[in-house]
Amino acid sequence: MSSGPDTADAAPPENGEARRSLSEAPPRRFRRLKALGLTLVAGAALLFAADRIFPPDFTRAHERSTVVLASDGTMLRGFLTPDDKWRLPITLKDVDRRYVELLLAYEDSRFADHGGVDLIAVGRAGWQAISNMGVVSGASTLTMQVARMLEPIPRSLGGKVLQAARALQIEQRLSKDEILDTYLTLAPFGGNIEGVRAATLAYFGKEPKRLTLSEIALLIALPQSPERNRPDRSADRAKRSRDKVLRILAEKGAISWQDASEAMEDPVPVARSRMPFIAPHLAEEARRERPDTAEVMTTIDARIQSAVEKLLTAQRRTLGEGDMAIVVIENATMKTIAYVGSTDFWGETGQIDLARRARSPGSALKPFIYGIAFDDLLLHPETLIDDKPISFGAYAPRNFDRGFQGTVSVRSALHMSLNVPAVAVLDRVGPVRLSAVMQQGGAKLSWSSRLAGPSLPMALGGVGVTLEDLTMLYAGIANGGVARPLLRYADQTTGEPHRLFGPVAAWYLYDVLRGSPLPDGWAMGRGIDRGREVAFKTGTSYGYRDAWTVGWSARYTVGVWSGRADGSTRPGEMGRNVAAPAMLRVFELLPAEHGGIAPPPGVITVPNAEGLPPSLQRFSPRRMVAGLARSTPPPVIAFPPDGAVVELNDADPALILRADGGAKPLRWIIDGTPLPAVENWAQTEWTPKGEGFSRVTVIDAEGRSATSNIRLKRQM
């Protein structure tokens, strides 16, 4: 039977057709490879575009609590984030290195090698899930956990894919250390506690620099189920989770079984500790002044600050309804090393910063009046001055006890804080000048509606000034009469100096006020370390509203204010019996000192007024000087005039000083140092030591003076 067309073998193609078929095969394979390549490129481009369009959101990692630190890095106070979390700044260098090592051993042993997703762990987890018909172990890397901390991701298969994609993106943007920093910042530990630093402060009451094995295991366990494992909610569950971590670490060989067993014996915390809350008023101000800084380092000495706060906590019982503020300054640097704005921050008025509230200083301004007068050579501490009834127009000041002491030395007048002599000296110096000296020194002054500007009542407290500013000015006395702005932050540089008065005048104040009478009960060697010499002045404002004491030694200045936040009266509460004891106790808390402030050149040391030049033996009030002035004009420096630039001649270095007017004899003083007396009182010679600025003063027999501030310059 012959085969039909359906069963017959097909005839082989001709040779030409075969060659055409073979020649077409390579182009078809090429087209397929090309299509595959284009697909891969398109996919990569799509992934690249998606990565750029939908990058990881690092906002939460950057929204950290503001932390205010002491000068040694001790945390003074932290503040909640805008979403009410304790999320404190932290990096790897701030954490116990062993914690990081055990965290990686437990959570992600191949962290250093993978790119965000651990394929080996994924394969192992998948095989275990298939073999055991359920999830046995996870494959989440530390980077994937960071991805979930940065943004909410559902716990589903799709969520896992997104989490892995985010992990890959994070690895492209951050280094391994930066990823760990982010984990340390964001890891949840229950409630509003996020990050390792917040966790160790909340649960262990300490920074994470040094941790026990038990503490490390609890910190590893908590983020796995932060709400269920919270030790302050369920200590038993927290302990079981911690012990599980210890067993697994021992099984992996990361720790020994003996260490694990010993750590399991440690108790877990059962309550949250209070976050550090030191120098709250200064910390509040620091956050306001530096809102964009996560960590603000101040000049506060944490040890001294804590000791002062503890002192005031004990002092609170004796204050009744009153309050107290304290400022401590390191003189050489002008750093604020302790600052207390009130005794009870959480009290009814405790959040008012009373160290920055302008209040009447009472007699606490008297040293500056006398300092200016000392500088002008109107007075010397041994100069005699009258404490007698006197009127200045309609103003007739009286002493605190309503009595008068008669003629006393300036030293005694300042010791006893007599009002009439202080007002008489201010009348000569001028209230406008006093206010200018204080304001140029950095103090902000405020005036009542009754006293709209500088006037004689300033001598008795007729002006508003803050404790911080007044303490700063007193530190200027300690620094030889040169005031500089206070420093509160570690990165601040020394401010511009402003001269209150010369070093001789500043030392006179120190010499007088280091003999201030101590408060009752402090005369038997108590109060001041006898190796430390402290000068201080008290003040009490009208109506017993404010009690002040500011004291200074060679190294420190301490200012204390006591009163009520609402300014109401406290009868019988004075600077001497309320603020002075607190000031003395604060000095006891400061590092020891030995000796005092040495006298500068130019100091005149005499036992009494008789040893002084005639013009300094007795002070004359302005109205008496005005009567003399009708017959003798005041002295005027004819050469060198004020503001002059005087050229020095090396061949003939002596300068002629010449004055007109004034009651003879005249006395010349250069930068606080008197020149030798000469026959021709109106003219003398002075040989400068070199270039620079100098202050030339002439004073007549009635205490009137004239001054020229000059600049000395060598001839070119």
Q: Which of 140, 241, 342, 363 is catalytic?
A: 363
Q: What is the mean pLDDT of residues 155-171?
A: 83
Give me the pLDDT at residue 627, please: 42
In a domain, 149, yes or no: yes
In a domain, 315, yes or no: no
From 42-46, 181-185, 265-269, the region with the lowest mean pLDDT: 42-46
> Which CATH number characterizes residue 659's domain?
2.60.40.10
Q: Which of 107, 194, 215, 573 is catalytic?
A: 107
Between 566 and 158, whose confidence is greater? 566
> Which CATH number characterizes residue 180's domain?
1.10.3810.10
Q: Is the pLDDT of residue 464 over 80?
A: yes
Q: Is the pLDDT of residue 132 over 60?
A: no
Domain with 691 in it: 620-714
- Strand stretches in 253-334, DSSP E: 295-297, 323-330
Confidence of residue 330 (pLDDT cuts 50, 70, 90): very high
In a domain, 660, yes or no: yes
Alpha-carbon distance 188 to 225, whole Å? 9
Please indicate whether residue 215 is annotated as part of the active site. no
Q: Is the pLDDT of residue 594 over 50?
A: yes
- State whether 483 and 584 are in the same domain: yes
DSSP classification of residue 641: P
Alpha-carbon distance 368 to 665, whole Å? 28
Helix-strand-coil split of the chain, %, nearest 5: 40, 15, 45
- State whether 164 and 247 are in the same domain: yes
User: Rounded to 10 degrees, what is the CA torsion of 10, 15, 17, 22?
Assistant: 110
Between 503 and 651, whose confidence is greater? 503
Confidence of residue 3 (pLDDT cuts 50, 70, 90): very low
Q: Is the pLDDT of residue 137 over 60?
A: no
**Final residue in a domain of this structure, among 211, 244, 264:** 264
Give me the pLDDT at residue 495, please: 87
- State whether 222 and 361 are in the same domain: no
Mean pLDDT of the chain: 86
> Which CATH number characterizes residue 437's domain?
3.40.710.10
Q: Is the pLDDT of residue 157 over 80?
A: no
**Final residue in a domain of this structure, among 572, 589, 606:** 589
Please give the helix or strand (H or E) that residue 312 lies within, else none: helix 302-319
Alpha-carbon distance 382 to 380, whole Å? 5
| Token duo for residue 437 | 């000296």
Which residues lie below 8 Å from residue 126, measured CB to CB, with a gap of 6+? 139
C-alpha dist (Å) from residue 255 to 138, 218, 219, 668? 22, 15, 16, 83
| Token duo for residue 461 | 């407290």
- State whether 405 and 453 are in the same domain: yes
Over residues 39-92, the pLDDT tens digits come to 655 555 555 566 667 788 898 888 999 999 999 999 999 999 999 999 999 999
Q: What is the mean pLDDT of residues 527-532?
A: 62
Q: What is the mean pLDDT of residues 383-394?
A: 86
- State whether 128 and 180 are in the same domain: yes
From 299-308, 569-578, 604-613, 658-667, the region with the lowest mean pLDDT: 658-667
Q: Is the pLDDT of residue 716 over 50?
A: yes
Print the SS3 string covering 432-499: HHHHHHHHHCCCCCECCCCCCCCCHHHHHCCCEECHHHHHHHHHHHHCCCEECCCECECCCCCCCCEE
Confidence of residue 180 (pLDDT cuts 50, 70, 90): very high
Cis peptide before 56 (omega within 30 of 0): no
Alpha-carbon distance 324 to 547, whole Å? 9
- State whether 637 and 545 are in the same domain: no
In a domain, 305, yes or no: no
DSSP classification of residue 272: P
In a domain, 322, yes or no: no
Instruction: Please name every residue paired with 482 in a beta bridge, in sequence order, or none if there are none.
Output: 499
C-alpha dist (Å) from residue 140 to 111, 146, 273, 608? 11, 10, 32, 88
**Final residue in a domain of this structure, among 540, 570, 589:** 589
Nearest alpha-carbon partner for 619 in 371, 365, 377: 377
- State whether 539 and 627 are in the same domain: no
- State whether 214 and 111 are in the same domain: yes
In a domain, 121, yes or no: yes
The upper half-sphere exposure of residue 25, i.e. CA atoms within 13 Å in the direction of its Cβ, equals: 5
- State whether 562 and 659 are in the same domain: no
- State whether 417 and 515 are in the same domain: yes
Alpha-carbon distance 541 to 362, whole Å? 4
Give me the pLDDT at residue 623, please: 55
Q: Is the pLDDT of residue 606 over 60?
A: yes
List, in sequence order, the alpha helices (H) in 174-256: 176-186, 196-203, 213-221, 235-251
- DSSP secondary structure of 496-552: --EESS-HHHHHHHHHHHTTPPPPTT--SS-SS-TTB--EEEEEE-GGG-EEEEEEE
Give me the pLDDT at residue 486, please: 97
Confidence of residue 447 (pLDDT cuts 50, 70, 90): confident
Over residues 354-366, the pLDDT tens digits come to 999 999 999 999 9
Q: How many domains does the chain have?
A: 3
User: Rounded to 10 degrees, what is the CA torsion of 505, 506, 512, 515?
Assistant: -170
Give me the pLDDT at residue 44, please: 53
- State whether 377 and 249 are in the same domain: no
In a domain, 465, yes or no: yes
Stated pTM of the model: 0.78
From 10-19, 254-263, 395-404, 537-546, the region with the lowest mean pLDDT: 10-19
Please indicate whether residue 107 is annotated as part of the active site. yes
- State whether 512 and 374 are in the same domain: yes
Q: Is the pLDDT of residue 126 over 60?
A: no
In a domain, 56, yes or no: no
Over residues 611-624, the pLDDT tens digits come to 998 889 999 887 54
Q: What is the mean pLDDT of residues 13-27?
A: 54
